[in-house]
Amino acid sequence: MTAAAWFIAGTDTGIGKTHAACTLLHALRAADLRATGMKPVASGCMETAHGLRNEDALALRDASSAPLPPYEHSNPVALRDALSPHLAAAHEGATIALPPLRTAFDVLCAGHDAVVVEGVGGWRVPLAPGLFASDIPGQWGLPVILVVGLRLGCLNHALLSAEAVRADGCRLAGWIANRVDPAMEAVEENLATLRELLPAPCLGVLPYGVAPAQAFTEIELTVLAS
């Protein structure tokens, strides 16, 4: 692996992993790094003239450095049904395995300075019998960045996810808070609690409704260099 790379995990589905990953990509590019995003496995893909395409993977590509790699490298496994990947794959008679994903990842690493790998769902989402989303960073040796959606219940979800990351032998490099609920009460108190209890530094707090191309200034890249 010739590039720096991180795995973007989430405390749950719908807490803004893609938003945070795209923001990180913009921050890396602003630091003059050739950065690209990867969504190894994606379900809920749409039919296009070029084949199945995933909205999250396309957003990652939009936030990546040019020239863009072939879509199949950015999203090697694109599944039609908006289900857990192991179910979506079973519906199509497909099996998800790590080697093809790793091949695409290695190609991306060879052509870039940094690769941001976005997971699917939460930490323990099944991909295939005996294979979970957590096995991607676990077997590839990727440090993990945890995206915490700021809403009621985020403390429990964040702490349990961090415990699982570390229990699986992965390094939690940092976490990004994402304001998914603009009406959330006691935001600063919750952030203070997360900073106190999570065993990794906060890379940034992303404001609600601000696009990654503008929000990237909230990301502190020096934390990742430590």
Alpha helices in the chain (DSSP H): 17-30, 55-62, 71-74, 85-91, 98-110, 135-140, 154-167, 187-197, 212-215
- Judge whether residue 1 has pLDDT over 70: no
Q: Mind listing the pLDDT tens digit for each residue in 44-93?
A: 999 999 999 999 999 999 999 999 999 999 999 999 999 999 999 999 99
Determine the pLDDT at residue 43: 96
DSSP state letters, 10-24: ESSTTS-HHHHHHHH
Torsion, CA 174, CA 179, CA 180, CA 185, rounded to 10: 120
Q: What is the mean pLDDT of residues 167-188?
A: 97
Q: What percent of the chain has pLDDT over 90?
A: 95
Instruction: Please tell me the predicted confidence (pLDDT) of residue 226.
Output: 59
Three-state SS annotation for 166-215 = HHCCCCEEEEEEECCCCCCCCHHHHHHHHHHHCCCCEEEEECCCCCHHHH
Q: Which of 17, 29, 39, 179 is catalytic?
A: 39
Residue 205 sits in a domain whose CATH number is: 3.40.50.300
pLDDT tens figures, 15-55: 999 999 999 999 999 999 999 999 999 999 999 999 999 99
Structure confidence at residue 225 (pLDDT): 72
| Contact in structure between 146 and 162 (CB atoms under 8 Å) | yes
Range of the domain at 183: 4-223
Query: 187-197 and 154-167 helices cross at what angle (nearest 10)?
Result: 20
Would you state the structure tokens that stand for residue 167, as one six-digit string?
């229990």
Q: Is 17 a catalytic residue?
A: no
Mean pLDDT for 174-202 is 97
The domain total for the chain is: 1
